[in-house]
Amino acid sequence: MVNVHIGLDDVDSINGGCTTHFAVQLAWELKKKNIRFIDYLNLIRLNPAVPWKTRGNGAVSIRLQASPEETVGDIWELIISKLEEYAGEFKDSKNQPSVVLHVGEIPWDYEWFANKALHDLVPIDLASRILSKHSETRYYSVRGRRGIIGALAAIGYTMLNTDYTYELVAYRVREYWGKPRLVDSTSIKTMDELYGKEMLLNYDYESNRPLITPHGPDPVLLGLRGEDPRVLFEAYSVLRINEPVEYIAVFRTNQHTDAHLLEVKSICDVRPYMCVKVRGFVKVKPRRIIGGHVVFELCDNECCIDVAAYEPTKSFREIVEKLEIGDYVEVMGCVRPPSSSHGKTINLEKIRVLKLTEIYDYVNPKCPLCGSTMESMGKGKGFRCRKCGYRDPYAKKIAVLRERSIKPGLYQPPKSAFKHLMKPLERIGREKTVFPGVSLEDFVTKLI
Ligand SMILES: [Zn+2]
Over residues 325-362, the pLDDT tens digits come to 999 999 999 999 999 888 999 999 999 999 999 999 99
What's the CA gap between 213 and 216, in Å, rounded?
A: 9
CA of 187 to the centre of ligand 1 (A): 67
Positive or negative CA dihedral for 270, 273, 274, 276?
Answer: positive
pTM for this structure? 0.92
What's the CA gap between 350 and 113, in Å, rounded?
A: 26
CA of 220 to the centre of ligand 1 (A): 74
Domain with CATH 2.40.50.1010 in the chain: 262-358+403-420
The pLDDT value given to residue 373:
95
CA of 364 to the centre of ligand 1 (A): 13
CA of 400 to the centre of ligand 1 (A): 21
In the structure, what pLDDT confidence band is assigned to residue 230 with cuts at 50, 70 and 90?
Answer: very high
CA of 396 to the centre of ligand 1 (A): 15
CA of 199 to the centre of ligand 1 (A): 63
CA of 393 to the centre of ligand 1 (A): 14
CA of 385 to the centre of ligand 1 (A): 5
The pLDDT value given to residue 293:
96
CA of 359 to the centre of ligand 1 (A): 28
pLDDT tops 60 at residue 54: no
As a whole-number percent, the residues of the chain with pLDDT over 90 amount to: 85
CA of 371 to the centre of ligand 1 (A): 6
The pLDDT value given to residue 273:
94
CA of 386 to the centre of ligand 1 (A): 7
pLDDT tops 70 at residue 238: yes
CA of 48 to the centre of ligand 1 (A): 64
The pLDDT value given to residue 219:
94
The pLDDT value given to residue 13:
78
Fold topology of 2-258+429-446: Alpha-Beta Plaits (3.30.70)
Q: What is the pLDDT of residues 82-133, one digit of tens each?
A: 999 998 888 777 788 999 999 999 999 999 999 999 989 999 999 999 999 9
Domain with CATH 3.30.70.2200 in the chain: 2-258+429-446
Residue 357, Cβ neighbours under 10 Å: how many? Answer: 13
The CATH architecture assigned to 262-358+403-420 reads Beta Barrel (2.40)
CA of 391 to the centre of ligand 1 (A): 8
CA of 378 to the centre of ligand 1 (A): 18
Most confident of 29-33, 246-250, 439-443: 246-250
